[in-house]
């Protein structure tokens, strides 16, 4: 239709055409607010404006020299959709060569993870608990700290839930029930192994606390 009706006699589209009328190459980027709706009833939208404008340009822009092309309403709708689709494309950053898109861990973070994997709390890194929990008594530091430090989980679970840690991990509630159902699937043996490790962590926690208290 653009060819047939000779829009380029007045408009430039994609670098081709004339300068009598506004360049339409990026017509679709014009915001809806930039059109004048004072002569249009109904819901003010860019789509409504273009349709009315194509029907009769002079009705909206008095001094317009744009002809009212004889078109049925289907063609008017199609043309309105077409000019609204003429936009600058934002190339997603993932398509640009040489641009790093991943959020890669820093060398420091990698070094810390390597150290934690060699330390006494390695199992909490292997099982991905450290994604949300620090176990500071075993030098396991969580980047996110979404859950509580598990160094004193033995005592904390007892006081918060009135349950033993073993019971809690075998039949978890709250966030941990979702985590252990959907994210980290563990066998009963693995859970018991973690309980043993958390008891060790608690021992270390108590020893470290005692040392600190003496120093005070």
Which residues lie near ligand HEC (CB under 6 A)?
A: 2, 5-7, 9-11, 20-22, 24, 27, 30, 50, 57, 61, 64-67, 69, 79, 83, 127-129, 131-133, 146-148, 150, 153, 156-157, 160, 165, 168, 174-176, 179, 183-184, 194
Minimum Å gap between C-beta 172 and ligand HEC is 8
Phi (first) and psi of residue 180, to 5 degrees:
-80, -10
Looking at the Cβ atoms of 22 and 210, the one nearer to ligand HEC is 22
| Nearest distance in Å: CB 29, ligand HEC | 10
CB 12 within 8 A of CB 23: yes
Q: Which two tokens stand for residue 70?
A: 């004889």
Rounded Cα distance, 53 and 40, in Å: 10
Nearer to ligand HEC by Cβ, of 4 and 216: the residue is: 4
Nearer to ligand HEC, 6 or 105 (CB): 6
Of the pair 5, 55, the CB lying nearest ligand HEC is at: 5
- Please report how close the Cβ of residue 42 comes to ligand HEC at its closest, in angstroms: 19
Q: How far is the CB of 216 from ligand HEC (least distance, A)?
A: 24
What is the gyration radius of the CA atoms in the chain, in angstroms? Answer: 33
What's the CA gap between 5 and 70, in Å, rounded?
Answer: 10
Dist. CA 47–CA 54, nearest whole Å = 11
């Amino acid at each position: 239709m653009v060819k047939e009706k000779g829009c380029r006699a007045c408009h430039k589209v994609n670098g081709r055409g004339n300068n009598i009328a506004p360049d339409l190459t990026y017509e679709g980027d014009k915001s809806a607010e930039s059109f004048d709706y004072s002569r249009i009833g109904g819901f003010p939208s860019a789509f409504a404006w273009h349709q009315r404008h194509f029907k009769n340009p002079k009705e909206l822009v008095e001094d317009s020299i744009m002809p009212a092309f004889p078109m049925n309403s289907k063609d008017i709708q199609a043309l309105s959709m077409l000019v609204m689709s003429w936009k600058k494309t934002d190339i997603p950053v993932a398509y640009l060569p040489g641009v790093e898109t991943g959020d890669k861990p820093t060398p420091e973070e990698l070094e810390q993870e390597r150290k934690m994997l060699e330390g006494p709390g390695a199992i909490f890194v292997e099982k991905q608990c450290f994604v949300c929990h620090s176990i500071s008594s075993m030098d396991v530091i969580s980047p996110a700290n979404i859950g509580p430090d598990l160094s004193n989980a033995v005592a904390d679970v007892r006081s918060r839930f009135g349950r033993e840690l073993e019971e809690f991990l075998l039949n978890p509630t709250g966030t941990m029930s979702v985590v252990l159902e959907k994210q980290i699937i563990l066998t009963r043996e693995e859970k018991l192994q973690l309980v043993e490790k958390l008891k060790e962590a608690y021992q270390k926690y108590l020893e470290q606390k005692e040392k600190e208290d003496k120093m005070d």
